Chains A and B, each alone.
Chain A
């Protein structure tokens, strides 16, 4: 019950925030948090079948470029770009998934790594279509939205809500149970009749749909997309959001995505020190909180209620 109350309070605070401040900078940080949380949550779908992808940013890029090109070249309604972006990323994931998810472990990591690099190179070099390094500019806003950042803030919240709702339901359905079963014992899963390749591709496609849709949202929010938005480093950041938050549970990527996005903004002023601080932060999480930020709660609880059981450092 208190958990439900907490979720309601958080939702109410987020919904009511623009009444308190409409500072465009902080609205932007929150919109980017919603994006990063959703990317980390969708990456975790793959993690749940025991697979790590290094190409999540490129899948988001597929959605972003598909929607941006459609709106700037074909002049279709930008709203149409969100499902198209999702479908484009989905199509890529189906192809890439069936080619590479028969391979286990490190091979899929390498294939997705290569995919991210290839995507970057193609977007960077194919000037006639993608605009090369400077990317696509003048992407239209989503029509019908009032001017300013507040409408995008609410749209981002709505998309975030939808992402959380769908992914959580999936995880708790029998599909989710099969995903975890494959992670625990792939061979046994095959031997009880589960088509493990299909279910792994399904996980990949699910994660791609959300990456693609958020990519399209990103394109029509920033109104500029460039290859450097979707490099391998962006993919690694998404992995970090998930792992630093705690990949074992659903709230992990939510915590990690939000906390790291905000921390990144807070330390941006330190300039070149950003990567140093980031590195130290990550090392401390891995050393002291191997379960991620979510384990902070259990740690605090043990300090509070069982102080004598063992000395805490």
Chain B
């Protein structure tokens, strides 16, 4: 079966630095691929290349059988490939609810007549609002729907990140360190949401430094170092791979214990 997402020879140089070099990834529908590596290994750059935030220097990205290399970010989201950001990047002066409503943008009807008449497209708005409210309830954020997001605690902002990305109803979701800065309880909560979404059939690529959480969630793990793939396989194989341990995990105890 053809992969949902595939990259071939994906590369990106920043000046003389090869941030990502000749990367080949294949993500099957329904799986969760973990992407790990030391700081500066190029994990976030991979997300930026796939989601169209920056164009690759070489190589190609294929999503659902169609090449999307170099297409603008806004077009790629509309195809069903969404992402979150490591540091919550939200519409800071809007409420939680409005952030999620904006996330549903790809599914809004955009008739030029509505723009010309500056209509709010009321029916459409109500549907988007309803969907956003359901998402917030699902993520236990119902209580803060009217708060301005900039006033929310970090843990809630991370969940709003997830909600905004989910509002576009993606088939593939790129999660950039969803557990970073969260407490143990919040990590548990976030991992549960991800598990639930997976049971509903969503596909994930997950960048994460929290090994314990990642190893539990991932079907497969890919390890990057200096922009290159140094290993790929089942979480257990990766945790025992000597090259990975040398480059990133340190000792086995750390790999197992997080």
Contacts and interface: CB of A to CB of B under 8 A. Distances in A.
Interface string A174-187: 11111011001101
Nearest to B107: A193
A269 B79 CA distance: 64
A191 B102 contact: no
A195 B93 contact: no
Given A188-B90, A190-B53, A191-B53, A177 B98 contact: yes
Interface residues on A, range: 20 to 34
B247 to A, nearest CB: 30
A188 B91 contact: yes
Contact of B74 (A180, A181, A185, A196): A196
Contact of A193 (B85, B98, B118, B168): B168
B74 A190 contact: yes
Interface in B159-194: 164-165, 167-168
B118 A173 contact: yes
Contacts of B72: 190, 195
B120 interface: yes
Nearest to B73: A190
A69 interface: no
B120 to A, nearest CB: 6
Contacts of B108: 174
Contacts of A178: 102, 105
B90 A174 contact: no
A170 B118 contact: yes
A174 B167 contact: no
Contacts of A166: 118
A210 B171 CA distance: 43
A102 to B, nearest CB: 11
A224 to B, nearest CB: 35
A180 B93 contact: yes
8 closest cross-chain pairs (CB), A and B: A173-B118, A193-B106, A190-B73, A193-B77, A184-B91, A169-B118, A188-B89, A193-B105
